[in-house]
Amino acid sequence: MHIHICTNESLVAGGEEIELKCPVCLITSKQTVGFAGCLCRKCGNLTNDEWKGFIARLRREYLGKSRRDIAKALGILPATIRQYETVKCSKKYFDRLGELVEIHNKQHTRSTA
């Protein structure tokens, strides 16, 4: 009997390398596209055609922020963030997180240059 531990790497093993824009970190880079989805080489997230609430949570985690931190930055309740990530994701919240990711990426690019 063989036991296989599923990892992001194993889920896209044998996949094709393609330049794509990651829906989480919003950086265009090489991603491994396999049976289980796309593995971003920049942020390490494995995504497929997931629901926006899931991607919103991954974006928040990519930023390294808690629900409380994001809620404070956006002027809303942490419970609202939880609802957006688990029940119904508003377009406004999803787009605003995308803007925060873009700002984060620009600041990170400047600090490493």
The rounded distance, in Å, linking the Cα atoms of 50 and 2 is 30
Q: Is the pLDDT of residue 1 over 90?
A: no
Residue 54 and residue 44 share a domain = no
CA distance 26 to 40: 10
- Are residues 108 and 57 both part of a single domain? yes
The order of strands in the sheet holding 37-40 is 16-21, 28-34, 37-40, 46-47
* Final residue of a structural domain among 49, 64, 80: 49
pLDDT attached to residue 46: 80
Please check whether residues 17 and 36 belong to one and the same domain.
Answer: yes
- Residue 72's pLDDT is 94
Q: HSE (CB half, 13 Å, CA atoms) of 51?
A: 10
Compute the distance between CA of residue 8 and CA of residue 106 in angstroms, rounded to an integer: 27
Instruction: Give the count of domains, the chain.
Output: 2
The confidence band for 8, taking pLDDT boundaries of 50, 70 and 90, is low
Same domain, 63 and 38: no
Question: In this predicted model, what pLDDT tens digit does every residue of 41-73 receive, in sequence order?
Answer: 888 888 876 778 889 999 999 999 999 999 999
Domain range for 89: 50-113
pTM of the model: 0.73
pLDDT of residue 31: 84
What tens digit of pLDDT does each residue of 11-40 get? Answer: 667 778 888 888 889 989 888 877 667 888
